[in-house]
Amino acid sequence: MILEAVKYMILGMGVVFVFLYLMVVVLDLQHKLLMKFFPESFEDSSKEPPVTTKREKLKKVAAITAALHHMKNS
């Protein structure tokens, strides 16, 4: 019985390791392929600084001024 369980242990750990190791290899390969063929997908679109026009800046200044004014008065 114990020997049987040890066999199952070796089989089980073997399968788990092989599965996850294969997964690592495939993911690395996939990463390389994507880097090669779809490099644009790795560029962060969210990190681009938001474009602010002069008008928007003025609006911000106005808002801050209004807030400060409100604070002082209350």
Query: Contact positions toward another protein, by CB under 8 A?
Result: 1-2, 4-6, 8-9, 11-13, 15-24, 26-28, 30-31, 34, 38, 41-42, 44
Smallest gap from residue 44 Cβ to another protein (A) = 8
Pick 34 or 68: Cβ nearer another protein: 34
HSE toward the beta carbon, residue 8, CA cutoff 13 A: 5
**Greatest CA separation for the chain:** 84
Q: How far is the CB of 17 from another protein (least distance, A)?
A: 5
Alpha-carbon distance of 16 to 50, in angstroms, equals 46
Q: How far is the CB of 41 from another protein (least distance, A)?
A: 4
Q: Are 67 and 60 in contact (CB under 8 A)?
A: no
